[in-house]
Amino acid sequence: MKTYVQNLKWRIKMKHKNVILLVATLVCAGLAGIQAQIVKDIDGNVYKTVTIGKQIWMAENLKTTKFNDGTLISLVSEDQAWGALTTPALSWYNRDEAANKNKYGALYNWYTVSTNKLCPKGWHVPSDAEWTTLTTFLGGESIAGGKLRETGITHWEKPNTGATNESGFTTLPGGYRNNHGAFANVGFFGFWWSATENFPTASWCRTMGCTGSDILRIFSLKKNGYSVRCIKD
């Protein structure tokens, strides 16, 4: 009987160890898979990606200067010229590529988005419905913003309350460029285009700020320059 009990204890102990090992292996494999998923744009910029629900998103803002067919996107610096545009264009916040490209990505007007050639092949600018799928999966617009936003005050201004970044999406406050060419709100707000038009002069987008946990669904003039996140086809 003593031998039987000892063997039983040994089997239970080994089974417990195997369960722990299996769980650890699955967790590591999952983390490695997320970290290993990268995408490269036509300029050679490499982006981390993140899987949220059934969607795969870039975990960084887009910064390509070319469409995925190799065509250059116009870089427009002058304010009046930017405001007059009804064609694709990009800019760097405050016209400072060195300071802002790698950190916040480019600011694109919506005419750039509407070409369907902005993201790398196999990826696209998310529709309004795809943004809604994301925020719904994360519990709704009232709390999803905090789950999407980078924590701390390295990039976001104080207080950055409500940010957990538990999704790994890591939104940053890249600000925007308005329809008159002026730049504003870097550090305080981020704005991201959807591919869905609302009016002939406006389209749907998402925005969040450095307080609270919400993300707002708004429409905005197509002439504005906003950040872009790509989603896998």
Structure tokens at 186: 């870097």
**Distance from C-alpha of 25 to C-alpha of 107, rounded to nearest angstrom:** 41
Q: Which residue has the higher pLDDT, 28 or 232?
A: 232
pLDDT exceeds cutoff 60 at 6: no
pLDDT exceeds cutoff 80 at 17: no
Q: Which residue has the tokens 């617009």?
A: 141
CA dihedral 48, 52, 56, 59 (to 10 degrees): -30
Residue 35: per-residue pLDDT: 42
**Domain positions in the chain:** 1-36, 41-232
Q: How many other CB atoms are there within 10 angstroms of residue 22's CB atom?
A: 10
Structure tokens at 4: 């039987």
Per the CB < 8 A criterion, the answer to whether 186 and 173 are in contact is yes
Cα dihedral sign, 140-142-143-146:
positive
Residue 31: per-residue pLDDT: 35
Residue 19: per-residue pLDDT: 38
Average pLDDT of the segment spanning 151-159: 97
**Distance from C-alpha of 91 to C-alpha of 141, rounded to nearest angstrom:** 29
Q: Per mean pLDDT, which range of 2-11, 36-45, 136-145, 212-221 is the poorest?
A: 2-11
Please write the tens of the pLDDT for every residue from 69-94.
999 999 999 999 999 999 999 999 99
Q: Which residue has the higher pLDDT, 42 or 6?
A: 42
**Distance from C-alpha of 62 to C-alpha of 107, rounded to nearest angstrom:** 9
pLDDT exceeds cutoff 90 at 68: yes
Residue 27: per-residue pLDDT: 37
User: What is the per-residue burial (b if ≥16 Cβ within 10 Å, else e) of 134-167?
Assistant: bbeebeebebbbbbbbbeeeebbeeebebbebeb
3-state secondary structure of 97: helix
In 63-124 the beta strands, taken as DSSP E runs, fall at: 90-91, 107-108, 123-124
Please write the tens of the pLDDT for every residue from 101-122.
999 999 999 999 999 999 999 9
Residue 37: per-residue pLDDT: 85
Distances in Å between the alpha carbon of 3 and those of 7, 9, 14, 174, 193? 6, 10, 16, 68, 69
